Amino acid sequence: MDKKSLGGSGISIVPFVFGGNVFGWTIDERTSFQLLDAFVDHGLDCIDTADVYSRWAPGNKGGESETIIGRWLKNTGKRNSVVIATKVGSSMSPNDSRKNLTKAYIIKAAEDSLRRLQVDHIDLYQSHYDDLQTPVQETLEAYAQLIKEGKVRAIGASNFGAERLLESLNVSKELSLPSYVTLQPEYNLYDREGYEKELEPVCEENNLGVITYYSLASGFLSGKYRSEADFNKSKRGQGIKKYLNGRGIRILNALDEVAKNYSTTPATVALAWVIARPSVTAPIASATSVSQLQELARAVSLNLPPEVIDQLTEASAY
């Protein structure tokens, strides 16, 4: 499979990233192992997680996703077959919304993630959310130490606004500190405006790899939510209501048409549209069954012609 570069990191990946938020939340460890095996068997190679995943599940404390991935890596010996991306900066307490990108916090959190993942280095370590209380320089100095110690290969940002992202990139240049090489923004056929207007120009100008999250709009673009009666189909169902409007229905209709023409599914088409965006390295998508993973993975080889890309882009105009 053709690979894309994660910005200037020197790391290349197949343009499909498995979202590890489901491990220990909507699927148990056994199912997680099956999915990870199938993921690698399909020639895919990048897994995205975070230290706080899946703290929101009853009885969990955070770190469950990393722990499951770590056990799978140890059991299978497939560390060299995958790129591991994880995140830092969110509180491990489900009742604490504070963000923390202080040097001391990052250094300690990195050690905890390395232990849970059972690896000696993290390929891509990402600031999960911006911490407006901590100077950018302090955060980057923490990453500089981790990179120098060989515990992190490259760093990225997630959920940053354009202004703070630019500030971070400029501080890296001015002080010769490690620079963010990737950005993880929300982006999909429905949620386009924020990324395209503000973040995309910054990413293109600075050669950042872009890994999109909510690439299927919390499952809405799969087409399984057509009315409020469908909200109980998953644990994310209640977050779908905002998409059920005229524009959302237009998008679903366009996805249905393209999916029918290519004998595939709306979800596969929606991911293929994201992959086709020149500024995007890869979308993140989660699966809870091997059959669902196989469906989504087809997006990598679904090369939609320009006129079909335009059709979908026009249907989702904002």
Please give the pLDDT value at position 177.
98
How far apart are alpha carbons 187 and 195 in whole angstroms? 7
DSSP, res 195: I
Please give the pLDDT value at position 237.
60
Q: Are 216 and 222 in contact (CB under 8 A)?
A: yes
Q: Are 124 and 153 in contact (CB under 8 A)?
A: yes
Q: Name residue 315's amino acid.
A: A
Give the DSSP H/E element, type plus range, for residue 47: strand 46-48
Please give the pLDDT value at position 94.
77
Please give the pLDDT value at position 278.
97
Q: How many CB atoms lie within 10 A of CB 307?
A: 7
Extract the residue ranges of the chain whose pLDDT is less than 50.
none
Please give the pLDDT value at position 29.
98
Annotated catalytic residue: which of 53, 105, 125, 143?
53
- What residue has token string 């790899």? 209
Output the 3-class SS for the chain: CCCEECCCCCCEECCCEEEHHHECCCECHHHHHHHHHHHHHCCCCEEECCCCCCCCCCCCCCCHHHHHHHHHHHHHCCHHHCEEEEEECECCCCCCCCECCCHHHHHHHHHHHHHHHCCCCEEEEEECCCCCCCCHHHHHHHHHHHHHCCCEEEEEEECCCHHHHHHHHHHHHHHCCCCEEEEECECCCCCCHHHHHHHHHHHHHCCCEEEEECCCHHHHHHCCCCCHHHHHHCCCHHHHHHHCCHHHHHHHHHHHHHHHHCCCCHHHHHHHHHHHCCCCCEEEECCCCHHHHHHHHHHHHCCCCHHHHHHHHHHCCC
How far apart are alpha carbons 17 and 88 in whole angstroms? 18
- How distant is the alpha carbon of residue 216 from its chain centre? 11
Please give the pLDDT value at position 225.
86
Please give the pLDDT value at position 239.
78
Q: How many CB atoms lie within 10 A of CB 76?
A: 14
| Whether 53 is catalytic | yes
Please give the pLDDT value at position 81.
97
* β-bridge mates for residue 85, sequence order: 48, 124
Token readout for 151 is: 């515990």
| Domain positions in the chain | 4-184
The CATH T-level fold of domain 4-184 is TIM Barrel (3.20.20)
